[in-house]
């Protein structure tokens, strides 16, 4: 059995949960991976969670914290893209625009909302990393 196969039957329901959360602007966390000794299985399920659009994953063991943080932290390319979108819409000539041309691609206000959310999540991640661990 490959990692994640044991929850294959849940995928339609999990995606429904993600879609409902996104529709209502709510963060949504994927459930726990109970076998904290199975790092490969955990990594596979975390990757699946990211790809499905979850905002994070609930954890049950300290060994899961760093890999989950790494998986859910936006990439440098995603950060740069989000910053460019926010900056472009902040320009006076785009203040009322519903869609703009950003480096040859069409970018809409919904992309601005996504970019703003990504940058807010990044700020939250960075602020949590600055907290001392107990």
Q: State the residue for tokens 């006076």.
A: 92
Q: Are residues 81 and 40 in the same domain?
A: no
Alpha helices in the chain (DSSP H): 11-23, 39-52, 65-72, 76-90, 109-129
Taking only the tens of pLDDT, the chain with its 134 residues reads 455 567 888 999 999 999 999 999 899 999 999 999 999 999 999 999 999 999 999 999 999 999 998 999 889 999 999 999 999 999 999 989 999 999 999 999 999 999 999 999 888 878 876 655 54
- Which among 72, 89, 114 is the end of a domain? 72
Q: What's the domain range around 99? A: 74-134
Q: Are residues 66 and 78 in the same domain?
A: no
CB 102 within 8 Å of CB 82: no
- Which among 32, 47, 72 is the end of a domain? 72
The total of structural domains in the chain comes to: 2
Q: Are residues 4 and 57 in the same domain?
A: yes
Q: Are residues 2 and 57 in the same domain?
A: yes
pTM of the model: 0.78
Q: Are residues 93 and 31 in the same domain?
A: no
Instruction: State the distance between the two ends of the chain, measured CA to CA, in whole angstroms.
Output: 37
């Amino acid at each position: 059995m490959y990692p994640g196969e044991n929850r294959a039957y849940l995928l339609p329901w999990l995606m429904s949960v993600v879609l409902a959360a996104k529709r209502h602007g709510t963060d949504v966390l994927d459930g726990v991976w109970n076998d904290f000794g199975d790092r490969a299985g955990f990594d596979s399920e975390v990757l699946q969670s990211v790809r499905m659009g979850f905002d994070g994953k609930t954890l049950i063991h300290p060994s899961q914290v760093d890999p989950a943080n790494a998986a859910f932290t936006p990439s440098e390319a995603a950060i740069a893209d989000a910053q460019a979108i926010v900056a472009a819409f902040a320009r006076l000539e785009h203040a009322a625009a519903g869609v703009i041309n950003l480096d040859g691609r069409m970018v809409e206000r919904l992309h601005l909302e996504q970019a703003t959310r990504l940058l807010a999540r990044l700020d939250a991640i960075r602020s949590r990393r600055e907290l001392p661990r107990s």
